[in-house]
Amino acid sequence: MESNSYLIEKFLEEIHTSETIIDIYKKKSKTIDSLKIQKINDNKIMELFQNFIKNDAVFCTIIKMQWEKHKSLKTTRGATKKRTFLYKYFGDDAPEDDRVLDKWTSSKLTKSQKQIDEKYKKHLIGIPATEQLFKDFLIFVDMENTKHKIHQPLTQKQIIIEGMKTLSELDEKTLYLIDCTFAESASNFKIRELTLSDLMNYKIDSLESPQFYIDCIMHSLNKVIEDFTKIESKYELEVIKNKELYLYRIEKFLYLLNIETTSVFLTTFRKVFNAENILKKNIDIPQYNKIDKRKYRTSLFTNLVAQEVNHKLKMNINFPTVRQLFIELRKSLEEYSTFIKNFTQ
């Protein structure tokens, strides 16, 4: 992200060339709208504010904004508006020459112009326009941060790290079944004369489109779905059940796929196994409204979730099994594969 000084200069350029740009985004943040400069307790924002008011162009912009409001007010008899303004906001530090205000509010600020004395800048915190301009600046910073994120697409590593955090919510048995889908059953099928086992040995990103990888995963899912009872029994016979090992092998496999397939698979998996979606489909609305929906909004559906909900509702709801969810996952991946196939024809 850009430095504070660069952001300040960019902000000033924006407000002088396109006055409506900030207005479009002012509704974005109620917290910014309620901000009071003198009550700031966030160290980062306070540091940003200190850098903000040190800038000479910011100082002049604030004075100009406040002066525009002040000019319409009536002044005390015998006092000029400029003198009243300077004494009101700078007190004993007010410059003796009223023409200083003309320099500050000039529409053109040259780099050769003498720097603003720090004794004047310290009074900015008491000028209403300072708060207004700084709020706009915070909104601008938020906009820049958003644009920065938009223009920096996630890497495969970032996608997998986030995906593995989600998958780690699953119970040991479900992870074992996913591991089987990716690895142990991979060599049992062929597609276009290349097995997924081959693919795992020779990471060939340029071989095919994401459709190729998705088709590979679908074939493996079919194998697991068909032999589900046998694979479950095999899991029960495992002497050492190791959740971390299953996660490690799943992660290793995801790195063998290209980035598009990794993203598609993890996104589809989250959607199919999303706890909130599954609860909505399987619980009547009156009962559904009794549970803490926020708790399950971004969680994956597990046996623990099923037990919690049944205990809360004092019911015995027959939620979908992992096998049924695998079938739904396979169907969703097939829809994506068909879409890609039609799109590329």
- CB 295, CB 269: distance < 8 Å: no
> Is residue 343 predicted with pLDDT exceeding 80?
no
Say what the pLDDT of residue 192 is.
40
Q: How far is CA 65 from CA 127, 128, 152, 338, in A?
A: 10, 9, 36, 59
Q: What's the mean per-residue pLDDT of the chain?
A: 78
Give CA–CA dist 49/54, Å, rounded: 9
Say what the pLDDT of residue 210 is.
72
- For range 5-19, the mean pLDDT: 70
Contacts of 205 (CB under 8 A, 6+ apart): 258
pTM over 0.75: no
Say what the pLDDT of residue 190 is.
40
Domain definitions of the chain by residue range:
4-150, 156-344
> Is residue 17 predicted with pLDDT exceeding 90?
no
pLDDT in tens, 89-111: 999 999 988 888 988 988 555 45
Say which range, 124-128, 195-199, 293-297, has the weakest mean pLDDT: 195-199
Say what the pLDDT of residue 13 is.
74
Q: Give the residue with greater pLDDT, 213 vs 28.
A: 213
Say what the pLDDT of residue 23 is.
52
Note the residue count of the chain. 345
Q: Tokens 């207004």 appear where? A: 132
What single DSSP character describes residue 63?
Answer: H
pLDDT in tens, 247-300: 998 998 888 778 888 888 999 999 999 999 999 999 998 899 899 888 888 899
- For range 156-162, the mean pLDDT: 91
Percent of the chain's residues with pLDDT above 70? 74
Say what the pLDDT of residue 275 is.
93
Say what the pLDDT of residue 147 is.
61
- For range 48-72, the mean pLDDT: 87
pLDDT in tens, 61-84: 999 989 988 877 665 554 578 888
Whole-number CA gyration radius for the chain: 31
- For range 28-46, the mean pLDDT: 54
Cα–chain-centroid distance for residue 255? Answer: 23
What is the pLDDT confidence band of residue 152, given thresholds at 50, 70 and 90? low
pLDDT in tens, 303-325: 999 999 999 999 999 999 999 99
- CB 269, CB 326: distance < 8 Å: no
What is the pLDDT confidence band of residue 338, given thresholds at 50, 70 and 90? confident
Say what the pLDDT of residue 108 is.
57
- For range 207-223, the mean pLDDT: 76
- For range 170-187, the mean pLDDT: 79
Contacts of 130 (CB under 8 A, 6+ apart): 37, 53, 62, 124
Say what the pLDDT of residue 245 is.
92
What is the pLDDT confidence band of residue 177, given thresholds at 50, 70 and 90? very high
Say what the pLDDT of residue 52 is.
87
Q: Tokens 């559904």 appear where? A: 288
